[in-house]
Amino acid sequence: MSRLIAIFMAEALLFLLATVNIRACAKGWLQATIITDAIIAGLTFSLIKWIAETGTLPEQVAYILGAMAGSGTGMYLTKHWRENEDKR
């Protein structure tokens, strides 16, 4: 069960960071883009072998659900970033 939670959390973090990165790119925030790129690259590099060995159906479901949760959370958290800047 702890492996399922770890897979879920790792994917949630990765997709949350990817969502934040896309928002930062869209807003033209260089520093935020570079920082999230570096974290995404490091996390992906570390997880490639571990995720590649994921073979059971419950692990695959945890992987998919983690990705969904991370993207949704990232969109929710970044939806109103600096809204006042957009209104100027």
pTM of the model: 0.82
Assign residue 74 a region: left if phi > 0, alpha if psi is -120 to 50, beta otherwise?
alpha
Our count of domains for the chain comes to: 1
Given pLDDT bands bounded at 50, 70 and 90, which one contains residue 59?
confident
In the predicted structure, residue 51 carries a pLDDT above the cut 90:
no
Nearest to residue 32, comparing CAs of 43, 48, 45, 21? 21
Residue with the bigger pLDDT between 53 and 35: it is: 35
Average pLDDT value for residue range 46-68:
85
Average pLDDT value for residue range 31-35:
96
Domain of residue 62: give its range: 2-87
Average pLDDT value for residue range 3-29:
93
pLDDT at residue number 86: 54
Q: What whole-number distance in Å separates Cα of residue 20 and Cα of residue 48?
A: 21
Given pLDDT bands bounded at 50, 70 and 90, which one contains residue 83?
low
Chain-centroid distance of CA 54 in Å reads 19
pLDDT at residue number 87: 59
pLDDT at residue number 60: 87
